[in-house]
A and B are shown apart, each in its own frame.
Chain A
Amino acid sequence: MTEGMVMNLVRLLLYLVGMIGFAAFNAAYLTLLERKQASWMQLRRGPTEVGPWGLLQPVADGVKLMSKQLLLPRDVDVPLFLLGPIMVVVPPILCLVTIPFSETLVARNFNLGLLMIFAFGAISTFVLMLAGLASANKFSSIAAARIVAQNIAYEIPLLVIVLSLVMSTHSFNLHTIVDQQAGGFWHWNLLRLGTNPLMPVAFLIYFICLLAESNRAPFDMVEAESELVAGVFTEYSGMGFGLFFIAEYVNIVVGCCLATILFLGGWHCPFGLLPGLHWFLIKMYALCVMVVWVRWSFPRTQFYGLLNLSWKILIPLALANLLLTAVMLKLF
């Protein structure tokens, strides 16, 4: 074996261990954040019993999920049903490959990193749909049908927004995109009004699409616990269900990472001081808090409301944004 191969293997191992750890940690502690923040908004106190201030609650939840039996209902499509939870956690963890957490901390910097993230992001839609159909349960089937309609509807404005962003950055490489935003918050893509005066609107559309793509309230039609029991996850038990849960949170983390990179200047400090990993994490977790905040502020929309929002408002706005970017680039 050559030295390059060894280095590659070490890199791969480090990536796998690091990213799976990062994903698991985030999934665990975002559930705690979710519960804590929800209870604060409702003037409650949230989990307090397990560990100091309930900080060990995710550990208890994990142990509980792992100690439960994996049930296999009679009519399910066994291979698909068992593959579902595995395939659903793989794409978000793969997406983390190319996320640059800081100047040097990135598993693998691709030229087409942005494209790769959206390619893998689209897979989780199919996996959720297959898991729902394989469950042979009417709630899961309805959820599977819903997830297709929802994710197709929201992928369009999302991609159009990203397209207009790529037009102004001239790069699919996330590292390059962040590098262009160095030095102060007025250089961030969010406030780059010179190339496109609608950038803040674009960020809002991106954020809304992020909520819808990761199936978060107020767009959680796929889970819709009051209508569909647990949607796609209805027939899953124990850690099978747990993996779907982890995937949901890792998807949020990936979406927030991407929002940080595309709009908020990645690892750069808002005031041009001390760039580094900490700024990336601060921005990313602030966005995660926003996601939870939105969830506990608004009730679930109805399905036609969800589709109306996408087809009648977000897509026209995103297209207008694209057109405006093109015009601005041509003129200036």
Chain B
Amino acid sequence: MIKYFQEIIEGAYTLAVGMGITFVRMFRRRVTLDYPYRSLTMTARYRGHIELKRDEATGQPKCVVCMACQKACPSNCIKLDGQKPEGAPRKVLTSYMLDFTTCSLCGLCVESCKFDALTFSHDYNLTSMRKEDYQTMDLLRRVGGAK
């Protein structure tokens, strides 16, 4: 009989503790960020799609068209092309197409690049209604290089 009442009182006490916890939380600071209006800056090591890097001195992409990234890609989603203009010391990139629909973001292309010309983008707001936008992502145009 004592156990019966003990159980009731203990049960009621634990319920009160639970309600106390939720009551305190009602007045805590909200953690929600109003996403479309405000957003956090992405952390430095975020792996988005790959992006070409620009040479600050010339404003041109750092890429030397060595094709190492294209060979390293396990999903064959990188297609790049370049040509050597008259009198230029090295090849110049003319197109860099990424098929983001098959890219698995493994990062082998970034690792394979010996010229520090590739990096991960921090853009996580990609959206489009057309598949083609991501089947042929023109990275050269994104970086604002010569066309």
Contacts and interface: CB of A to CB of B under 8 A. Distances in A.
Interface of A: 37, 40-45, 48, 293-294, 296-298, 313
A294 B19 contact: yes
Given A41-B25, A43-B25, A313-B8, A297 B30 contact: no
Contact of A297 (B8, B18, B29, B32): B18
A40 B22 CA distance: 9
A45 B21 CA distance: 18
Contact of B26 (A37, A45, A298): A37
A45 B32 contact: yes
Nearest to A218: B15
Contacts of B21: 297
Given A40-B30, A43-B32, 19 more contacts: A37-B26, A40-B26, A40-B27, A41-B22, A41-B25, A41-B26, A43-B25, A43-B28, A43-B29, A43-B30, A43-B31, A44-B30, A293-B19, A296-B22, A297-B15, A297-B18, A297-B19, A297-B22, A298-B18
**What range describes how many residues of B lie at the interface?**
10 to 19
A43 to B, nearest CB: 5
A293 B28 contact: no
B2 to A, nearest CB: 15
Contacts of A298: 15, 18
B95 to A, nearest CB: 43
Given A40-B26, A293-B23, A48 B34 contact: yes
10 contacts: A43-B25, A43-B28, A43-B29, A43-B30, A43-B31, A44-B30, A293-B23, A297-B18, A297-B22, A298-B15
For B22, B25, B28, B30, the residue with the greatest tally of chain A CB atoms inside 10 Å of its CB is B22
Contacts of A40: 25-27, 30
A244 to B, nearest CB: 27
Contacts of A43: 25, 28-32
A296 B22 CA distance: 8
| Most chain A CB inside 10 Å of its own CB: which residue of B21, B26, B29 | B26
A40 B29 CA distance: 9
Contacts of A294: 19
A297 B34 CA distance: 25
Nearest to B16: A297
Interface string B25-53: 11111111010000000000000000000
Contacts of B19: 293-294, 297
B41 to A, nearest CB: 21
Q: Most chain-A Cβ atoms within 10 A of its Cβ — which of B27, B28, B31, B32?
A: B32
A97 to B, nearest CB: 33
Nearest to B31: A43
Interface string B58-72: 000000000000000
Contacts of B8: 313
Contacts of B15: 297-298
Nearest to A290: B19
Contacts of A45: 30, 32, 34
Contacts of B28: 43
Contacts of A48: 34
A205 to B, nearest CB: 11
Contacts of A297: 15, 18-19, 21-22
Contacts of B30: 40, 43-45
Contacts of A313: 8
A201 B21 CA distance: 23
